[in-house]
Amino acid sequence: MIDIKLIRENPELVKENIKKKFQEDKLPLVDKVKKLDETWRKQKYRVDELRSERNKISQEINKAKKAKDEKLAKELIKQAKDIPEEIKKLEEKSDKLSIEIRKIMMQIPNIIHKSVPIGKNDKENKEIKKYGKPKKFNFEVKSHVEIGESLGLLDFDTSADVSGNGFYFIKGELALLNMALINFARDFMVKKGFQYVEPPLMIKKEVLDGVYSTEEIDAMAYKVEGEDLYLIATSEHPLIGQFITKTLQKKTLPVLQTGYSMCFRKEIGSHGIDEKGIYRTHQFNKQEMIVICEPEDSYKWYDDMLKASVEIFKALEIPFRVLECCSGDLADLKAKSCDLEAWSPRRNEYFEITSLTNMEEAQARRLGIKINNGQKNYYAHTLNNTVIATSRALVAILENNQQKDGSIKIPKALHKYTGFKEIKPKKS
């Protein structure tokens, strides 16, 4: 959520930003909220006037009583009688206006960083750099589904019977490899100075509204029936949610946390879920990292978080590339974002494995997360980045490390976590 001062002082800048994101349907919101804000400020000014008038009359009543001028005192009391009711009515109107203004403000996209390339959608994202070379295979490459099923380590048919599409049973060495990725990610981030946290798997609507746009909530979030709770889509949400309405002391910053959790997503929309596969599912494992910091430090942390992602996937020996997200591919809260994409030899293309975002103060403003520097309070900047979404990392490892005999080589960085160096086909 942007600062309403931007709309008061420079509405054209806000409109231009909306155009850069190709959301022209939202342009009328700027003028609408500007008018509502003007009405709200007039009402607030009138309430302040009435309070001042009431205080002035109260002082005059006291003077009249001291002077034993009962007639004047009665007249003044009569004048003051209707003021509280008028204040109450105006405050009720102002409260309704505030709710309406906030609702509209939450639909207006964050101001994108000046470095963000302009483009309509993810097809216009800009490649920054490639790492590693895709392998050349002298045999027919299998998909992760074919590999997992042939090894007896992925079961989609039983999970469809038990839970429906978008779920899977993961077994044996592949399940151990999944846990190895989680443990590797945890240790990597702890060595980087991040505190390890295991958060709740459900959050309240108030927190969800602060971390997600309305569109994302509708498309992603599972509501717990009869409760003010939603299943989390990523550990970022409860990690950031810990600090809702809190004012952090400057000396305690930056907040560096990494959290592991199961994640749950409806995945309603253009992508949908995999009919069979573990790339896009309703439930998955993910290690996340968050940073809460001083505004002037947020892009330093953005660069550091990107470097960490590059280190991780280099260590996993997966060919990948970094993409800068264009303006039209940024969700409304994002000021700047980039993705890491791994190579799929089966599909002969790259696919998303991690996403890094700087939300600047937009998320903190929605959640009320501030910093006190000893002189004043101001909004923090918040960043988040996927450390590892294990299902997507597994897709990359299975496809890139498959061998002609059907075995799968395990990246060296994971050997100490798995206890084995390869997954071998079962002997019939």
Considering the domain architecture, whether residues 259 and 362 belong to the same structural domain is answered as yes
Considering the domain architecture, whether residues 166 and 191 belong to the same structural domain is answered as yes
Residue whose pair of structure tokens reads 């490899």 in the numeric block: 177
Establish if 168 belongs to a structural domain: yes
Q: Which two tokens stand for residue 173?
A: 């060495």
Establish if 428 belongs to a structural domain: no
Considering the domain architecture, whether residues 187 and 286 belong to the same structural domain is answered as yes
| Predicted pLDDT at 135 | 92
Considering the domain architecture, whether residues 76 and 149 belong to the same structural domain is answered as no
**Alpha-carbon span 91 to 290, nearest angstrom:** 38
Considering the domain architecture, whether residues 99 and 146 belong to the same structural domain is answered as no
pLDDT-flagged residues of the chain (< 70): 268-274, 428
Considering the domain architecture, whether residues 381 and 305 belong to the same structural domain is answered as yes
**Alpha-carbon span 172 to 406, nearest angstrom:** 16
Contact 330, 124 (CB under 8 A): no
Cα angle, residue 230 at apex, residues 232 and 357 outer, rounded to 5°: 40
User: Which CATH number does the domain housing residue 156 bear?
Assistant: 3.30.930.10
Largest CA distance in the chain: 109
Q: What is the CA radius of gyration of the chain?
A: 28
Considering the domain architecture, whether residues 152 and 223 belong to the same structural domain is answered as yes
The string of DSSP letters for 183-216 reads HHHHHHHHHTTPEEE---SEE-HHHHHHHS-HHH
Domain boundary among 54, 78, 105: 105
Establish if 111 belongs to a structural domain: no
User: Which CATH number does the domain housing residue 51 bear?
Assistant: 1.10.287.40
Considering the domain architecture, whether residues 179 and 308 belong to the same structural domain is answered as yes
Per residue in 209-268, pLDDT (tens digit) is 888 777 778 778 899 999 999 999 999 999 999 999 999 999 999 999 999 999 999 876
Domain boundary among 62, 78, 105: 105
Establish if 171 belongs to a structural domain: yes
Domain boundary among 77, 105, 133: 105
**Alpha-carbon span 14 to 111, nearest angstrom:** 7
Establish if 113 belongs to a structural domain: no
> What is the amino acid identity at position 281?
T
Q: Strands 370-372 and 247-249: what pairing?
A: parallel
Would the pTM count as exceeding 0.95? no
Per residue in 51-79, pLDDT (tens digit) is 888 888 888 888 878 888 877 777 778 77
| Predicted pLDDT at 428 | 62
Residue whose pair of structure tokens reads 């009711």 in the numeric block: 85
Considering the domain architecture, whether residues 264 and 167 belong to the same structural domain is answered as yes
The H-assigned helical ranges of 67-202 are: 70-81, 83-105, 144-150, 156-162, 172-191
Considering the domain architecture, whether residues 197 and 52 belong to the same structural domain is answered as no
Considering the domain architecture, whether residues 323 and 394 belong to the same structural domain is answered as yes
Establish if 83 belongs to a structural domain: yes
**Alpha-carbon span 305 to 172, nearest angstrom:** 32
How many domains does the chain fold into? 2
SS3 287: strand
Whole domain around residue 32: which residue ranges? Answer: 4-105
| Predicted pLDDT at 271 | 64
Establish if 18 belongs to a structural domain: yes
Considering the domain architecture, whether residues 392 and 243 belong to the same structural domain is answered as yes
Q: Which residues, listed in sequence order, are joined to residue 370 by a DSSP beta bridge?
A: 247, 379
Establish if 371 belongs to a structural domain: yes
| Predicted pLDDT at 49 | 87
